[in-house]
Structure 1
Amino acid sequence: MTDRSDRVRAAAESLGLDVRIEQTPNAASLEEAARLRGVTPADIVKSLVVKGKGDAYYFALVPGDRSISWSKLRGVVGVNKLRLPEAELALEATGFERGTIVPLGSTTAWPVYADERMRGKHVSMGAGAHGKALYVDADALIDALEATIADITDAI
């Protein structure tokens, strides 16, 4: 099987995004992962695929020190129901396993919603494969993905 991070790298290059993908050791917590990556917990972005009605999916980009606010995200997306899909549906919708999901290189270019707290940062996130992390300028990522920027999170 090919390394799915190659697909992420190719997608980034096609968008003109400057990314760095590196091996990353397993971590027992967000704080440990941040320390190992040399960033703060807020700079690790969780890339979540969210299921809407029928076959509709969305990506939500959430800083590591925050949690998704379902009411805020529903309001921004303009729907009444959203949920995290089962692992097999997430894989089918994106081509990535949970824990590796990233909008770059997804098998379908679902709409992206980025929390406004990402602006102005250099962030780390999943890279399409276990044991790999992607580093990218958040503003460049948001612009390249034509993401909707909004307050979509709550403090943990």
Structure 2
Amino acid sequence: MAEFDPSAAPPPEAPAEAALRAAGIDYRVVRHRRVGSLAEAAALRGITPADIIKTLVVRRGEDDYLFVLVPGDREIAWPKLRAHLGVSRLSMPDAATAFAATGYERGTITPFGARVAWPVVADASIAGRTISLGAGEHGATVLVDADTALAALAAAVADISDPST
């Protein structure tokens, strides 16, 4: 992380911050340079790779999306997610469609402050710890209590992931 310079102007607010405040969620913004790996990101944030939560946009149908939250060291288990949602088909939109649906670029996506409050499904392994979520811009993340964030998002919590291979 960059050294603190008391004479420097504070960084601009990350896009997700207003939504986090409105939800009454305590958070801490962490800013750092671009990284080349999950392990590097975790080290810069002072957390484990499992605590970095990927927010993935999943399409159920025409203009029907949801956010899926999965730990950084895991991936969506598509059969589990389809069974949980009771659907036979799901897909991931391309980057332009994900941006149109959320207002966030890939790598910055978060359910907080998105254009539409799409439903959220979170992997059960996220609960009970401090997690890192996208803050809506590159180089910024927010650290939040997982249980508080999941409650504020009215997230469905289920076993929907498998370890990354």
Between the aligned partners of 1:31 and 1:100, the Cα distance in structure 2 is 17
RMSD: 1.4
Aligned residue in 1 for 2:53? 45
Report the 3-state secondary structure (helix = DSSP H, G, I; strand = E; otherwise coil) of the residue aligned with 2:54.
strand
Q: 1 or 2, which has the higher helix percentage?
A: 1
Match among 100, 117, 135 for residue 109 of structure 1: 117
Aligned residue in 1 for 2:157? 149
Q: Does the 8 Å CA contact 2:15/2:137 hold for their aligned counterparts?
A: no
Report the 3-state secondary structure (helix = DSSP H, G, I; strand = E; otherwise coil) of the residue aligned with 1:52.
strand
AA at the equivalent of 1:109: A
Instruction: Flag structure 1 segments of 5+ consecutive residues without an equivalent.
Output: none
- Equivalent pairs counted in the alignment come to 154
1:22 CA displacement: 2.2
TM-score (norm 2): 0.89
Q: Does the 8 Å CA contact 2:14/2:137 hold for their aligned counterparts?
A: no
Report the 3-state secondary structure (helix = DSSP H, G, I; strand = E; otherwise coil) of the residue aligned with 1:85.
coil
1:68 CA displacement: 0.7
Aligned residue in 2 for 1:59? 67
Aligned residue in 2 for 1:85? 93
Q: Could you tell which deviates more after superposition, 100-109 or 28-37?
A: 28-37
**Structure 1 stretches of 4+ moved >6 Å:** none
Report the 3-state secondary structure (helix = DSSP H, G, I; strand = E; otherwise coil) of the residue aligned with 2:16.
helix
Match among 93, 96, 108 for residue 104 of structure 2: 96
1:106 CA displacement: 0.4
Instruction: Flag structure 2 segments of 5+ consecutive residues without an equivalent.
Output: 1-10
TM-score (norm 1): 0.94
1:125 aligns with 2:133: yes
Aligned residue in 1 for 2:22? 14
1:6 CA displacement: 3.8
Report the 3-state secondary structure (helix = DSSP H, G, I; strand = E; otherwise coil) of the residue aligned with 1:123.
strand
Q: Does the 8 Å CA contact 2:16/2:136 hold for their aligned counterparts?
A: yes
